[in-house]
């Protein structure tokens, strides 16, 4: 039910689509729905154990899902989920 | 992989890097991609890393969301990020590699004793390793400093 905003680095796995409509009643189900329709994106979101990757942050609207019910956070028809890659690094 | 920077884009990255020295600076790269990747605009962002900013940078998720939104609203593409390596070479560290994402160009500016010494750009290849991008213009930028 939610719309997922795909970050630019992952758009090559969604045929350059910036947003994808998904099925599912919570954040996790929405991500699984995305991975079903666009299988190549899966390894960039989930690790081998099926958990959301450490360097991926998820926001529902303007809120970090960690401040909500994490991946179990319920979504509505007009919900917008953002997948945010960690942008970090450093010289050493 | 080839990258071109407008003179203004390059100057702003260099100015930001020297201004923030000895901390690491960071910011976004916007532009368009045809045969080469043309960086037309740079937008500095706050290094949100907690603790020592001289060896690390981090961009907050909210700033990242704003950057994607900016690209969509301004008919441009988010092409990557830049950051500085104060008193270190303009080469990606292992830490840079561990957190790198596909597609993005990673511009690295080496700043030595407060002055820009080198500027390089990198992109992940299919084997998930950094490959240097050739920068097509303004090779003599160091002497303009």
CATH of the domain at B88: 3.40.140.10
Count of domains for chain B:
1
Q: Which one-letter DSSP state was computed for residue A51?
A: P
| Structural Rg of chain A based on CA atoms | 13
Each residue's pLDDT tens digit, B3-24? 999 999 999 999 999 999 999 9
Position B143 in a domain: no
What average pLDDT is seen over chain B? Answer: 93
Whether residue B81 and residue A87 make contact (CB cut-off 8 A), yes or no, is: yes
Q: Contact, B107 vs B80, CB < 8 A?
A: yes
Q: Which two tokens stand for residue A79?
A: 């919900």
Enumerate the residues of chain A whose CB falls inside 8 A of the CB of residue B58.
86-88
Contact A55 B65 (CB under 8 A): no
Per-residue pLDDT, A92: 80
Q: B144 falls in which pLDDT band (50, 70, 90)?
A: very low
Domain that holds residue B47: 2-136
Do B135 and B3 form a contact (C-beta atoms < 8 A)?
yes
**Of the options 3.10.20.30, 3.40.50.300, 3.40.1160.10, 2.30.130.10, the CATH number for the domain spanning A2-84:** 3.10.20.30
A40 and A9 in contact (C-beta within 8 Å)? Answer: no
> B43: helix, coil or strand?
strand
The answer to whether the Cβ–Cβ distance between B64 and A85 falls below 8 Å is yes
CA A21, CA B12: separation in Å to the nearest integer?
A: 38
Q: Is residue B98 part of a domain?
A: yes
The answer as to whether B142 is a domain residue is no
Q: Is B141 within the bounds of a domain? A: no
Q: What is the mean pLDDT of residues B37-41?
A: 96
Biggest CA-to-CA distance, chain A: 44
The reply to whether B144 falls in a domain is no
Using a CB-CB cut-off of 8 Å, the residues of chain A touching B124 are none
**What would the pLDDT profile of A7-47 be if each residue is shown by its tens digit?**
999 999 999 999 999 999 999 999 999 999 999 999 999 99
């Amino acid at each position: 039910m939610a719309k997922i905003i795909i970050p630019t680095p992952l758009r090559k796995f969604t045929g350059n689509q910036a947003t994808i409509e998904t099925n599912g009643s919570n954040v996790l189900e929405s991500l699984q729905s995305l991975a079903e329709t666009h299988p190549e994106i899966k390894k960039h979101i989930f690790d081998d154990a099926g958990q959301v990757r450490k360097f991926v942050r998820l926001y529902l609207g303007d809120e970090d899902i960690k401040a909500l019910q994490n991946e179990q956070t319920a979504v509505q028809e007009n919900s917008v989920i953002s997948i945010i890659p960690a942008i970090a690094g450093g010289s050493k | 992989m080839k990258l071109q920077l407008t003179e203004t884009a390059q100057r702003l990255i260099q100015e930001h890097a020297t201004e923030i020295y000895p901390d690491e600076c960071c910011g976004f790269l916007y532009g368009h991609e045809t045969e080469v990747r043309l960086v037309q605009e740079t937008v500095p962002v706050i290094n949100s890393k907690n603790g020592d900013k001289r060896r690390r940078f981090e961009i907050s998720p909210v700033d990242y969301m704003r950057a994607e939104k900016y690209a969509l609203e301004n008919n441009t593409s988010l092409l990557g990020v830049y950051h500085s390596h104060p008193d270190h070479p303009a080469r990606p560290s292992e830490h840079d590699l561990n957190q790198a994402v596909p597609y993005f160009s990673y511009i690295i500016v080496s700043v030595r004793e407060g002055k820009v010494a080198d500027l390089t750009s990198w992109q992940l290849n299919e084997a998930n390793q950094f490959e240097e991008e050739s920068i097509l213009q303004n090779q003599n930028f160091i002497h303009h400093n």
